[in-house]
């Protein structure tokens, strides 16, 4: 079964860590594409001061030459809070014959039970839980019963069904985060090498000012 990756976040800003993770996931999980989806209205954290339209514009600039990566504005077009389950429902309708693979970090995985309608996520997609090599990973008590028999060990198993499994996806992490980038910008230091040049070259003084006002809880 062909598979599509789903990678969401505030992306304030989209950085080289995001870009490298998307490329690695696409290649190693044998995905047809990865859809990069900026959150429009985050339900559990402050919204970025940078508009969602500007953030998806940055993504488009950064992935211009990456054919397997797609900037998806579905959460921007949808009214109300940006719940992942609603995004997966929309993608499942658009791609009924594909497996969907949702990329999430280990911190998000540990708090999966706090997500809106979280059991439905596994009805709509597989989970690829991103972690550092060798890191221990286990479901929280609230999710263990559902997830205990759904773990798989190889990417091939994600292609056997459209949804319902989870895989620990180990990848060397670049030491880059949106929080670190915003802190550097606040002190007037360079972020070149951390953010794609296409974004840096398009970034205005107003963009920089908005980013430096973002709460550090916005995204990583």
What's the mean pLDDT when you consider all of the chain? 93
| Domain assignment of residue 57, yes or no | yes
What is the tally of structural domains in the chain? 1
Q: Over pLDDT 70: what percentage of the chain?
A: 97
| Domain assignment of residue 187, yes or no | yes
Write down the pLDDT at residue 136. Answer: 86
DSSP 192: B
Per-residue pLDDT reduced to its tens digit, 199-220: 999 999 999 999 999 865 443 3
**Residue 148, Cβ density class (10 Å: 0-12 exposed, 13-18 middle, ≥19 buried):** exposed
Model pTM score: 0.94
Burial 69-93 (b: 16+ CB within 10 A, else e): bbbbbbbbeeeeebbbbbbbebbbe
| Domain assignment of residue 154, yes or no | yes
Write down the pLDDT at residue 216. Answer: 58
| Domain assignment of residue 219, yes or no | no
- What CATH code is carried by the domain that includes residue 41? 3.40.50.620
Region 98-117: mean pLDDT is 95
| Domain assignment of residue 30, yes or no | yes
| Domain assignment of residue 218, yes or no | no
Residue 170 tokens read as: 């180990």
Q: What sign results for the dihedral spanned by CA atoms 50, 56, 57, 60? A: positive
| Domain assignment of residue 60, yes or no | yes
Region 9-13: mean pLDDT is 95
Write out the residue range of the structural domain in which residue 80 sits.
Answer: 3-213
| Domain assignment of residue 44, yes or no | yes
């Amino acid at each position: 079964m062909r598979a599509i990756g789903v990678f969401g976040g505030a992306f304030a800003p989209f950085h080289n860590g995001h870009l490298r993770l998307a490329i690695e996931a696409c290649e190693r999980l044998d995905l047809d594409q990865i859809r990069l989806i900026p959150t429009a209205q985050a339900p559990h954290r402050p919204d970025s001061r940078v508009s969602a339209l500007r953030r998806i514009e940055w993504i488009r600039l950064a992935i211009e030459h990456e054919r397997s990566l797609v900037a998806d504005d579905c959460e921007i077009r949808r009214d109300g809070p940006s719940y992942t389950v609603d995004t997966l429902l929309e993608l499942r309708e658009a791609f009924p014959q594909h497996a969907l693979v949702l990329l999430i970090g280990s911190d998000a995985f540990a708090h999966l039970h706090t997500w809106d309608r979280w059991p439905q996520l596994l009805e709509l997609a597989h989970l690829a839980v991103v972690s550092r090599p060798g890191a221990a990973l286990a479901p929280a008590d609230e999710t263990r019963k559902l997830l205990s028999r759904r773990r798989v060990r190889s990417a091939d198993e994600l292609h056997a069904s459209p949804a319902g499994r989870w895989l620990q996806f180990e990848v060397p992490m670049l030491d880059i985060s949106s929080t670190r980038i915003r802190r550097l910008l606040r002190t007037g230091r360079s972020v070149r090498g951390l953010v794609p040049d296409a974004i840096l070259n398009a970034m205005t003084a107003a963009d920089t000012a908005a980013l430096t006002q973002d709460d550090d809880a916005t995204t990583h």
